[in-house]
A and B are shown apart, each in its own frame.
Chain A
Amino acid sequence: MGVKLKALLKSPWVFHMATGSCNNCDIEILDCLTPRFDVERLGILLAGSIKHADILLVTGSGNRQSMERVKRLYEQVPKPCLVVAIGECALSRGIFIDSYNCPLPIDKVIPVDVYIPGCPPRPEAIIAGIAKLIEKVKSKA
């Protein structure tokens, strides 16, 4: 494991991006930061800029307007960077699979490391997903 990756896992900063979601997953991500779940105690912090982030949280079914922007954002993240797809829409476009405006699932556009299913996933599931991501990276190294 490189020094960068090792440092990243100690306190992963996350950046959240909605690519055409219904808000629910986004609200649940914010919920993780509030007193009941409080992920800050685990060193996870919501970063204001993509350039400060280690983990990219992607929600939503990815519509035509946002697809280009997802690519551009991914190019801007300092590497190594991990990507987590949150919610059924980001996994497979869910209920919006037939929509004219949702051409591709997220993992066809950028590489995804961990998938968290649910509509919306509970905050516990999101925290467990991030924990599994860290485990996965550690076991690979």
Chain B
Amino acid sequence: MKTIVPIGPYHPLQEEPEFFTLTVEGEKIVSVDVQVGYNHRGIEKLSEMKTYDQSTFVVERICGICSTSHPFAFVQAVEDIAQIEVPERAKYIRTIIGEGERIHSHLLWLGLAGHFLGYNTVFMWAWKLREEILDVMEILSGNRNNYGMFKPGGVRRDIKAEDIPMVLKKIDSILPTLDMLKKAVLDDPVLQARTKGVGILTKEAAINYSALGPTARASGIKRDVRKDSPYAAYDRVQWDMIVTQNGDVFDKLVLRVLETFESVKIMKECLLTLPPGEIDANLKTIPPGEGIGQHEAPRGECFHYVKSDGTNRPVRHKIRAPTFMNLPTYKSTVINQTISDVTIILAAIDPCYCCTERISVLDTKGTKLYGGEDLVRLSQAKTERLRKEMGVK
């Protein structure tokens, strides 16, 4: 007998609202469906209403956890249109901020994963450690979360030389605790029993679903924008791409913990080798054209497309967040698992629904889905009707 288990939209499981429909047969999941849209704010449209400098702040507020990833990709798209080279120092500062975000995002996920598994100690430890990184970000950018560091052509704020020793000391101080956390998490037999072999995403499935970021790398796919098409200062520092093979929740957990260490390494090296010079290329006008920007966000590749007509506003701004690609992998990972494992599998891709929000227009019966062309046709038909009614030719 099939039973439907609804989860959400407002539930204590995750901080964002989203609605899951799980169809179960006994304990086993037969099918899963996810419904989003509770966070939709119309960012792409808003961005087209604002100037390039203002849009950077709008895209920063797509998601609080990825508040560097979106501006990072957006400014690169704008620079791609203008075909300008960003000063070396600005590239390093961007890399430092980007990696700082990755550390705090992975620690946040680790904490939440611990919480979902019933290990509230892991939650408390990871979030306590995260505070240190937020302090570092506050020293560097002046804010804990929305850094406001990016602008097309460079960065808004320089890193002061006298801040660097303090920042390095703070980063070094978290390493022993991070190491302890890594050992405690990875050697725990209960944690292994709960996550090993659970929610496996095979390599084939990951390729078929075009999974991105840690979700793909945990399935053995070497895919990382930072290595594949280096930008900012990622090709100037030494670091390794972490890849694990099994694709289960445990591998995703291991991968994120190890990636945190790599990020610490990148951040430290960038801070130590920060070149002197300008931080802004003084981008004044944006020529007509199209540009793309990519950034490896903590959850995967974040992609922005911007089209310019030579004015100070983008005519089209398209955003593809990593969760949009990772979300469909649920169809492969959740099916045939037990309902008690669902929470951690759903959380394993580190979903970010704020980034993913799309809107769909349904007719009043809720059956027909309208696409962009249909809506334009409906709109034109209405004008035609009004014209006839009003007798205007």
A interface residues, Cβ below 8 angstroms from B: 16-31, 34-36, 46, 48-50, 60-61, 63, 65-66, 69, 73, 94-96, 98-102, 119-120, 122
Contact = CB atoms under 8 A, between A and B. Distances in A.
B352 interface: yes
B127 A69 contact: no
Given A24-B67, A95-B58, A30 B40 contact: no
- The 10 A-B pairs of least Cβ separation, nearest first, read A24-B64, A23-B64, A34-B127, A26-B15, A48-B12, A35-B128, A99-B42, A22-B64, A101-B42, A22-B61
B39 A96 contact: no
A120 B41 contact: no
Nearest to B35: A65
Nearest to A31: B127
B46 A96 contact: yes
B37 interface: yes
B319 interface: no
Contacts of B127: 30-31, 34-35
Nearest to B131: A36
Nearest to A35: B128
B39 A100 contact: no
Contacts of A19: 17, 38
Given A30-B15, A120-B146, A65 B64 contact: no
B123 interface: yes
Interface string B164-201: 00000000000000000000000000000000000000
B118 to A, nearest CB: 14
B128 A34 contact: yes
A119 B128 CA distance: 22
B245 interface: no
26 contacts: A18-B39, A21-B354, A22-B61, A23-B64, A23-B352, A24-B61, A24-B65, A24-B67, A24-B145, A26-B16, A27-B108, A28-B144, A28-B145, A34-B123, A34-B128, A36-B128, A36-B131, A63-B39, A69-B10, A95-B46, A96-B61, A98-B46, A99-B41, A100-B42, A101-B41, A119-B146
A116 B111 CA distance: 26
B144 to A, nearest CB: 7
Given A34-B124, A36-B131, A20 B15 contact: no
Interface in B98-124: 108, 111, 123-124
A69 B38 CA distance: 10
Contacts of B303: none
